[in-house]
Amino acid sequence: MADSAARPLPTPTGPILPTIGKSDTKPTWCPGCGDFGVVAAVESALKRLKIPAHNVVIVSGIGCSSNLPHFLSSYGFHAIHGRCLPVAEGIRWANHGLTVIGTGGDGDGFGIGAGHFVHAMRRNVDLTYVTMDNQIYGLTTGQASPTSSMGQKTKSTPTGVIEHPIDPIALALASGATYVARGFSGDVKQLTDLVTGGIEHKGFAFVDVFSPCVTYNKINTFDFFRQRVYKLESAGHDPTDIVAAWQRSLEWGDKIPIGLFYRTERPTYEELEEVLAAGPLAHQPAGLRGRESVLDEFV
């Protein structure tokens, strides 16, 4: 269980908010966008875990999907393109009593943000990262993204994509994520279970979501995925077996797996960083402790 749900937190200095709900800002996504299913799953997961809204921070980058923090009543931070995870890490380390959730898209997370993605996973920072993977750049009206399929014709690739797509699940496994899952926004019930499990997990939890863009991607549609996805839990998959998880991650074609690929336990960054042993930095005295001994080293 994440720290915020596992033990009482110090009295917050900000307003006390009830369990999370929808904000007064209405979603601006296109009607039918897969991201509606994702925001519903995140809200449902936080309600299920009964985490007070004032203990939740949702961080995003840039893109259609990155508007998500605006639509829920928790705290939120809308970062710049590709910088969702470093901001989320900074918030987590400043107050690791908070439940921190990163949200974004395939362009934001696997393009300009790919370096941050890899390093956050190898550090095993205790946060949850949910990506809305529509295999296109939606906000900028339909260019190829890092997960667009080979041969896919888009505004930026009129004769077809010539680059091999990134496999987010395989990349997460190779980079050390300790909770790796994939959902489909057309199945909000299963997606809620996966996001709930990610928030409860102690360590870096990655949930990639097939979230179809109904405006600019006419290939990877809801019908495309409904005809192909199958649930790992129904296939007898063992999420503690990283070799099996790796093999499943490479499946793409007539059958595409969704569900929990891999879960393991290892010390988190917060547990290994001795500065955080005294509690969240936000509740520690300001100033440099033991400054005389530090200065002595340079004299």
List the chain domain ranges: 27-296
Write down the pLDDT at residue 297. Answer: 75
| Percentage of residues in the chain having pLDDT higher than 70 | 91
d(CA 66, CA 206) in angstroms, rounded, equals: 16
d(CA 77, CA 70) in angstroms, rounded, equals: 9
Write down the pLDDT at residue 18. Answer: 72
**pTM more than 0.85:** yes
Tell me the three state secondary structure of residue 131: strand
Query: What is the tens place of the pLDDT at every residue in 122-174?
Result: 999 999 999 999 999 999 899 999 999 999 998 899 999 999 999 999 999 99
Write down the pLDDT at residue 11. Answer: 47
Mean pLDDT (the chain, rounded)? 91
Average of per-residue pLDDT across 23-49 = 96
Reply yes or no on domain 27-296 having CATH 3.40.50.970: yes
**DSSP assigned state of 233:** G
